[in-house]
Amino acid sequence: MVSEAEMLQEFQGGYDFPPLRVRLAKQSAWAHEIGADALLEVISAGQKYEFTAELKSRSSPKVFKEALHQIEQWARQQGRLPMLVVPYLREEQLNELQERQLSGLDLSGNGVVTVPGKLLVYRTGRPNKFPSSAPTKYAYRGATSLVGRVFLCRPKFQSLAEIAEEIEARGGSVALSTVSKALKRLESDLIVERAADRIALRQPDKLLEKLAESYTPPKVTKAVTLSMKMPLEELVESRPRKTPLVLSGRSSVDAYAVMGRRDGPVLFTPNIAPVLRKWGKKVEETSRFVDLELLQTADPTVFFDARPRDGLPYASPVQVFLECAAGDKREQETAEQVMDRILGELNG
């Protein structure tokens, strides 16, 4: 991560932002009196404009929002041109700056510089030169994603311990230290808000979007295809009691949305061997006339918040949403139905 001091150094010798040149002003000591980090000069075709600059080493949604509030205050109270400088600005952040007639530059080559009525330069499309390497970027995938997923089951908690307990009650397990790290990322992304007496989900739709962006299918270590000698409900009922079984998200669509299932059901389990022993002659391994696919995985996300109904172990609606969102156009349309259901349950 680049520091604010290192960011200032970028402007000491001049920073090219074609067709503009940006440099640190010599008489910038006064800027600190109003809480600014620096005074920057923007030179365009021989014309010089002075900007009061706020430097941030990160541009997470929360940091970005707070910084915009600060520079808007300068513009309103001091009558000065304000500018935000960060390592990287996403396109939606650049658009927001432009809409508010504010300026922002990043050190990756993107930015918008606005002098109302006189100058507007907008550049985007440059890759992030300073990607985060923090472990919290994995807050939306794997076992850590259970922290976010549990907020889609229950949107308010009073403590970290309560979150961990709810995850365990729904079939998962996450250490308190992991809960804490994941919450920091969720809070930074303005998905969760924390107060003295509560931790609450703020943007469930954005949380679903983040989970979908980071989703990877569970790693399967063994697979068998079977023909069944009895209905699936009876087969599930006769499983080993201590061995979990859950339908895949795609195989659970019927519980949450309308989409004709094209393939036979898929069941996940952490251990295939005891299941096959228990079922015995009730099933037969085959590759020709397949009624059921049994997959072995240690991925805890597929088993989290399973919802048994009518004798079948349906996956959670979040798992259904994620699997369908990663599928073809028809499945993606189904994912939208499931998302509406998730959001509706939270609001209801």
- How far is the CA of 185 from the CAs of 2, 82, 119, 207, 346, in angstroms? 19, 28, 36, 11, 21
pLDDT score of 34: 64
pLDDT one-digit tens code per residue, 244-287:
999 999 999 999 987 765 678 999 999 999 999 999 999 999 98
CA angle (194 as vertex; 191, 199 as ends), nearest 5? 85
pLDDT one-digit tens code per residue, 183-221:
989 998 889 999 888 999 999 999 999 999 999 999 999
Q: Is the pLDDT of residue 317 over 90?
A: yes
Positions of E strands within 229-323: 246-247, 266-269, 283-285, 292-297, 307-309, 312-314
DSSP 8-class letter at 128 = P
pLDDT one-digit tens code per residue, 87-117:
999 999 999 999 999 999 999 999 999 998 8
Please name the residue ranges forming H helices in 81-203.
91-99, 145-151, 160-169, 176-188
pLDDT score of 80: 80
- The rounded Cα 88 to chain-centroid distance in angstroms is 18
Amino acid letter, residue 171: G
Mean pLDDT (whole number) for 157-173: 95
Contacts 24+ apart (CB under 8 A), 125-129: 128/87, 128/88, 129/87, 129/88
pLDDT score of 135: 46
pLDDT one-digit tens code per residue, 287-310:
888 999 999 999 999 999 999 999
Q: Do residues 79 and 67 lie in contact, with contact meaning Cβ atoms separated by under 8 Å?
A: no
Q: Is the pLDDT of residue 35 over 80?
A: no
Supply the pTM of this predicted model: 0.70
| Class of domain 135-214 (CATH, top level) | mainly alpha
